[in-house]
Amino acid sequence: MDEELAEWLYLFNRGQDNQSFRRFGAHRVGSDDWQFLVWAPHAQAVAVVGEFSGWQPVPLSKLGATGCWRGEHQGVAGQLYKIQMTTRTGEIVEKIDPYAFAFEKKPGTAARLADLPRRVWRDGAWLAGRGAHRSYDRPLNIYEVHLGSFKRHADGSYLTYLEAIDEILPYVKKLGYTHLELMPLMEHLLDASWGYQLMGYFAPTSRFGPPQDFLAFIDAAHQLGLGVIMDWVPGHFIRNTDTLAQFDGTPTFEYADPHRADNVRWGTWNFDLGKAQVQSFLLSSAMFWLDWCHLDGLRVDAVSNMLYMDYDAGKAHDRNRFGGRENLEGTDFLKRLNTEVFAAHPDVLMIAEESSDYPKVSAPIIAGGLGFNYKWSMGWMNDTLKYFSTDPYARQAHIDQLTFSWVYMQNEQFILPFSHDEVVHGKKSLMHKMPGDRYNQFANLRTMAVWQMTFPGKKLLFMGSEWGQFLEWRDWSQLEWVDLKDPLNAKMQTFTTALNHLYQGTPALWQKDFQADGIQITIGDRSDVIVYERRGKAGACMIVVLNLLPEQRDAFIVPVPHAGTYEIVLNTESARFGGTWTHLQRILRTRGQPERGQPDSVEVVLPAMGALLIKPLTERIRREDSLEVTQND
């Protein structure tokens, strides 16, 4: 074993190698020569079997006390192979290559001989711009996509990565989103897992094409001005016995304690996050997607499961060595993950899908936090959906489901999500959750969208919700694109597009998301109307008025921050958006009378179950971003 390899393996075994994908797995060392490196510390023997050997074992040599095995063999790129283990008990089993860059299509699990995917990238301008601006004081509006069910061919087959370039990217750009978030595209077997039960931590799934085509999709998104985030699952992995489970015949990637290893909630195995080699494996996986695939961020799935020993079913009494609930290895790993990622890529996004009240998830590690950029605000999401799903006249007593979020809105750097989890498994689509007849469902949906877009925090919406798809999401078929033949659905899509572009063009809605002076609540003590100001830098201001009852309010007085002329830039009840207002009400002049502690006020007609966005005319948005807003007769 040469000195360089010995140093690499030393770092790997200490959990200090975040580039282990460069060495482990199969790597070309000649035109048709491949070197294999496998970590299997308790195996009696290790071999590779594949098409290049007629599926006969090619033995690998043990590298001293490193726990690793190495060997070479000739083969042609694209040929299938597996790792053959002889366990302590003498059993011979076949396993996946954990470091493979490509796999055969499901239901097979064999890896393919493949080089580290490379591309002549054309996204230099995007990457330079990404590094020039902090995300916190920029617009961040994310469109969440499940690639397998966005669109399909007439025969039910998937779009390819290359087809998705034309089918998805221009659509999302036109809608006014800044980023895509892809549900996991790492290799996985079970479609029904939506990609969250992984086996290939270094391989884009073969469902949609080869790895090079995945890179082309990312490159095309960047050239179009769209960022790409992907969900990533470092907490647990698929249970199938020919994947990572009991990899060398003993617990290798999972905890040795079967109780801790078993993830009851999801039917998977938990990674042993305290094991050095597992840390090297997972850190390297994160760096692979960010380094080699140019992703703009990772949304880390199921963070609560990594933070708490008692999170899973049947583990209510599990405690750490100090008697606490916290999974000490999990918290240490997450801090380590964010430290390493930001050391290499300070301009990417690390987002925690975390459902508890664990403190400082998005605070810097030096300040006692976990070091993520953002945390999904699950409390805001659950309360908002519960409120808007209730009949308007029954929910008046529950206005606190909206206003309580003001108490904690500055506790973290939040993303406000309406994600796939909320529109599946009998929870109904966002549209179907809304009360009343079809017209009132859309009115509620538009008002809820304004609440999301104007509340402090970044934004996320799951595909199909932009036009109010009625059926809940199904992973086995494409979205209900036929809906857009219905005028109300088409107008809802127009509304979402207009709101998104207004958001992007209004600094007051994103410059101070995480600063206390970024919002001023002026009417927050009523059960039917909420009014607040969003504030940006240099005096930028947007006034938000929400009428939460299906009753029009004439001569409603809105507090404003100074005397002058104001403009209504959005009315959710515009006929253009599916409402009934057909006559223009645009310019407002102050009354010369203070209101609710504010220096002045304006008088408006407040649409039933609707929202108004009002802006000082001196800070008028660009004409191309201005929205035609109408008033009822």
How many whole angstroms separate alpha carbon 362 and alpha carbon 360? 5
DSSP type of residue 527 = S
Q: Which of 231, 262, 301, 483 is catalytic?
A: 301
301 catalytic? Reply is yes
Strand pairing report for 583-584 and 414-418 = unpaired
- Lay out the sheet containing 61-62: strands in order across: 25-28, 33-39, 68-74, 61-62
181 catalytic? Reply is no
Neighbouring C-alpha atoms within 13 Å toward the C-beta of 219: 15
**Distant-in-sequence, close-in-space partners of 289: CB < 8 Å, separation ≥ 6:** 230, 232, 295, 298
Q: Which of 119, 100, 118, 116 is nearest to 108 (CA)?
A: 100
Distance between start and end Cα atoms, the chain: 84
**Distant-in-sequence, close-in-space partners of 472: CB < 8 Å, separation ≥ 6:** 423, 424, 425, 426, 427, 428, 429, 432
Buried b (16+ CB within 10 A) or exposed e, 81-107: bbbbbbbeeeeebbbbbbbbbbbeeee
How many whole angstroms separate alpha carbon 303 and alpha carbon 435? 33
Q: What's the full length of the chain, in residues?
A: 633
Q: 590: how many CB neighbours lie within 10 A of its CB?
A: 18
How many whole angstroms separate alpha carbon 486 and alpha carbon 494? 13
**Angle ∠(57,60,66) on CA atoms, nearest 5:** 145
How many whole angstroms separate alpha carbon 469 and alpha carbon 477? 14
* CB-based contact 557:595 (threshold 8 Å): yes
Q: Which of 414, 415, 428 is nearest to 386 (CA)?
A: 428
Q: Which of 353, 421, 513, 573 is catalytic?
A: 353
Write the DSSP assignment of 418-458 as a string of letters: E-GGGSSTTS--HHHHS-SSHHHHHHHHHHHHHHHHHSSSE
Supply the residues annotated as catalytic: 301, 353
